Structure 1
Amino acid sequence: MKEQDVKVTVCSFLELFTKEAIFPIGIDTYQRPYVWGEDKVQELINDLTEYLKDPKGLCYYMGNVLLHQHNQKQKLFIIDGQQRLTTLSILYFVLNGKFTDGDKMTMEYHSPLSTLNIKKTQLLFDGIKEQWKDKADFLFSNINLTCITTLEEDMAFTFFDTQNNRGVKLNPTDLLKAYHLRSIGNAEYLDIQINCASRWEKIQSYNTLFGQKKDYTAELFHQFLWRSRVWRGQRVIYRENDNEVLNEFQKNTLPNQSSVTIPLYPNANNTLGKKLTIKVNQGYTIQPANIESSNNSAHLPFTLRQPISDGLGFFLFAEKYADLVRLLLVDKDLKDNEIKAFRVFYNQVWSNVSLYLKELYVLSTVMYYDKFGSEKLLEYCLWLDHVLGAIRIEKQYIFKEAPLKFLKESDNNLLDVISQAFRTEEVILFLKKINNTRAVYSNEKIKSGKGVQGWYKQNVLGYYDKSDFNQKHNWINENFINTKLNSK
């Protein structure tokens, strides 16, 4: 690294946009939307209010800003600091009725989430507009930042990965997005980068299913993709953390020789293709048979436990499973009777079950559908309920270790059984043979409709139109399943 490749200066917000920036400051395609919420903005307002009461001749310091000087595009791209710079720019606009002088303010936002949050932030700043208007020049001349400008993008991300500042801490999925967009290549593949960034923003716009994550991409990678790939065997099964997610989907991905073509692997979704080539805005082609497919990402020929290629392969893999989960649980225009029947059962019985059991129920169903499609989907889901429901009936309190205990203590890991099975009957037979479920249902004394166990019992009995759990294992039969599949 040459000394001239990195420039470090301390400057005010005004100086950054009027003197320090040799090119207009912008936001690259891989950056996430503007996500500061009311709590972060109000925190800044409170801090600045205290500062303006008694500056004591000091500046108000807001941490580091990382910039990549892209000479070819003649832009200073923000690597880190977008949230703070956006918030300060909104405040500047509210107090001055314009952006900073000159042509150095070129930050553009394309996500609806950014638009929504910018409007909310502006409304908050409108509340202090009259109090601060006369202090605007002083304020923006004394809000200081350390600006680190690099000529190499990779060098900027090296700084980014190791520093910690006042900004919103990025999720692992934000880092994964940046890493894999950079893996796509140079300006020759800008259309592919933009296309992949657009796919990612589409996934981010989805509502979360479990409510534990603010961003659907975080939920997808933590609660579906990581677990489906790593929860193997029965000896070592543990819950994920941020570093584990990064290791699996960044360090463990495979380098790809082409930015537009990725290798394929034999699986139930793919018996002919050896590689896939993307055609921006026109779907994709599977070679060598040149099979044209649709734009429905849920049908991409991947499987959950296959190797993932970096760059394009990563984004297509993420989009496939984001849309597959939505196909099972969210999409409204359903034509497949098996999926319709599963959705009815899920909404009636499992949508309000304990989070930890529900996560395993949905994950197992996603893995089953990924392997076999909708073949015998309802039968599988009813037997899965029979097994996991016994845990709900037996335990008044369900802790986060319950799913791991189930996978470890069964005769085999259910997720491995699904992944390795050749026929649907193998998986269903495995569920039927799990010990102790009959005894749990025969011996339970739970009052229907009372407490979490009672509500579950009431919902199950309502679905099967029964009054108690006597001989429950006999309820799941061909006649009952056909009735549910043919009901409207």
Structure 2
Amino acid sequence: MDIQQTVKTGTATTAGTDQFDAYISPVADLLHQKLCIPSYQRPYTWSVKNVRQLVSDIQHFRSAGHYRLGTFILHEPDFTDSDAQGTYQEPGQLEIVDGQQRYLTFGLIILALSTRSNELDQTLSEPLLNRMQSISIPQRRDGKSETNLRTNYDHLLQVVRAWSVEELSDFTEFFLKECSVVVMEVKDLDSAFQLFDSQNTRGKALYPTDLLKAHHLREFTQTSSSREAILDTVRKWDAHEPAEIEHLFASVLFPIKRWTANEPVPDTGFRAEHVDMFKGIRQTNTPYRWSHMALMAKATVDHYRATNATLRQYGVVDEFEFPFQILQPIIDGEMFFRMVDHYIAETRKAGIRRISKWDTQPGDTEPAKELVNLLAKLDELPSGIGNRYTRELFDCLLMAFIDRFGWHDVRLAADKLVKRAYGLRAKLQRINKQSINIHARDGHSKTGLTGENIFAKIALAETPDDVLTLQDPNISEDDKRRLKSPFQKLFASVAKESIP
């Protein structure tokens, strides 16, 4: 019996709205569905520890007679052609918007159990083998999914082979018939994404940036017929750590946009309700005048790249990239992914990172030599939460300057901006998100800089000198003496190095 039959016959609890249908489905029925994992999903990340815990939970709840294994969000895609991962989507096939980690792990459990199917009663072996035929495990060339899938499968094989026939039979029957999930079949993808962060009991919840990836991939597939170009875009995205992309948006791009517009960064940070800030010009629609400049720049860049493709390939002419600006409109689709690549490279070069010591990989961008000394001093500072907030403020100030002027006078600008950011640290013993918001938008009263939104100043500056001549915070010698040694060293070095 498949899921649709289960719902119709009333053997599952169902509920429905205009946006989605919700019902409870046994694992056996879920695995009998035509399901696929869309290209915007992150790699399979579950470890042996996660798998061991899941098996242990199933065994533990066997005595209770039933076990609920979380929620799945499913969506029927609007296209039936090849998706960006090359997995053919059949008519009626549903995408797993949320639940892929559990779905793939369920599949591994089924595969491991099937190796001993000949020892089971036919009432169990037959549905077990049928489910094995229905499971779709995609090939992901991300270097992580296949490794984790193989490692977890090997572990499950060891576990299953150690069971007695009785244990094998009991587990298989309970897993297929008495373990269930809540399924939400959502009518449209945007509604599916609105549900994402309340789901996943074992796996990691989606980042808001995963929603952006999904949106811009859909736009890309509608405006490009090149499957290879789409595949290349997905590979580049997956080559970046998800947490690094999330940090770029949550701790750099999002705060810069908010503070420049004189809006505070919410205490809850960058969330799903903010993703529209990084959507913009849809090439399938008639553009408004505000979008004309960005579209003309894209047309110029695309023409140059196409005309000089061979010369670019052999390094005869320089690369020519779109002049991205954080505060300018985003062109949906391919340009979004090119923007992400651009700002990841820029933030790495600027020493902006989500951890105190960046684990560089071959090919990673090293910090610019002009910033190495200052960054080393910042890395020596204590790692408390107030200092982390202050460092993120400085990172945003530096990135806003680089975004406006490139790398002209970046050392002098960094010295100026570090005084602006850490001037607050010299005045306050405790720094929280509210004090950072005040200082970023209006200048904290303790620093003597009230009434000056430095992000707006940078956004309107015409030359680096307009930033370099801004007033410094009022930091007295008494303030410096109250600071701990690393801060004293920072302010002393900045004062000395700021002299051209």
| TM-score, normalised by the number of residues in structure 1 | 0.72
- The one-letter code sitting in structure 2 at the alignment partner of 1:390 is G
Give how far 1:304 is off.
0.8
Match of 2:231 in 1: 194
* Partner SS for 1:360: helix
Deviations 1:191-211 (A, max 9, x none): 244333223212336xxxxxx
Are 2:381 and 2:486, in contact at CA under 8 Å, matched by a contact in 1? Answer: no
State the structure with bigger RCO (CA 8 A, min sep 6), 1 or 2: 2
CA RMSD of aligned residues (A): 4.3
Q: Distance in 1 between matches of 2:147 and 2:139?
A: 14
What does 1:190-229 align with in structure 2 at a 5 Å threshold?
191=227, 192-204=229-241, 215-229=243-257
Match of 1:231 in 2: 259
Deviations 1:364-408 (A, max 9, x none): 111111111211111111222233333333333332333223222
Match of 2:282 in 1: 256
Match of 1:90 in 2: 108
Give how far 1:89 is off.
1.7
Instruction: Tell me how many residue pairs correspond in the alignment.
Output: 427
Please say if 1:342 is aligned against 2:382: no
Q: Distance in 2 between matches of 1:41 and 1:238?
A: 37
Q: Distance in 2 between matches of 1:381 and 1:200?
A: 29
Distance 1:276 1:342, change over 3 A: same
Please say if 1:172 is aligned against 2:208: yes
Match of 2:175 in 1: 140
Q: 1:453 aligns with which of 466, 484, 488?
A: 484
Match of 1:13 in 2: 27
Give how far 1:82 is off.
0.9
Deviations 1:306-338 (A, max 9, x none): 01122223222222212211222267999x999
Are 2:72 and 2:181, in contact at CA under 8 Å, matched by a contact in 1? Answer: yes
Please say if 1:317 is aligned against 2:339: yes
Q: 2:219 aligns with which of 167, 183, 196?
A: 183
* Partner SS for 1:231: helix
Structure 1 alignment gaps of length 5 or more: 206-214, 279-283, 447-451, 465-471, 479-488
Please say if 1:29 is aligned against 2:39: yes
| TM-score, normalised by the number of residues in structure 2 | 0.71
* Partner SS for 2:324: coil
Match of 2:86 in 1: none
Distance 1:124 1:403, change over 3 A: farther
Q: 1:274 aligns with which of 290, 293, 296?
A: 296
Deviations 1:241-271 (A, max 9, x none): 46x6545432663242259x9999799xx9x
- The one-letter code sitting in structure 1 at the alignment partner of 2:57 is D
Please say if 1:434 is aligned against 2:472: yes
* Partner SS for 1:112: coil
**Structure 1: which 4+ aligned runs deviate by more than 6 Å?**
5-9, 261-267, 287-298, 330-334
Q: Percent of pairs identical after alignment?
A: 17
Please say if 1:285 is aligned against 2:285: no
Please say if 1:375 is aligned against 2:393: no
Q: Distance in 2 between matches of 1:157 and 1:184?
A: 17
- The one-letter code sitting in structure 2 at the alignment partner of 1:454 is S
Give how far 1:340 is off.
0.5
Structure 2 alignment gaps of length 5 or more: 1-16, 82-88, 117-128, 352-357, 444-448
Match of 2:6 in 1: none
Give how far 1:48 is off.
0.9
Q: 1:422 aligns with which of 462, 468, 471?
A: 462
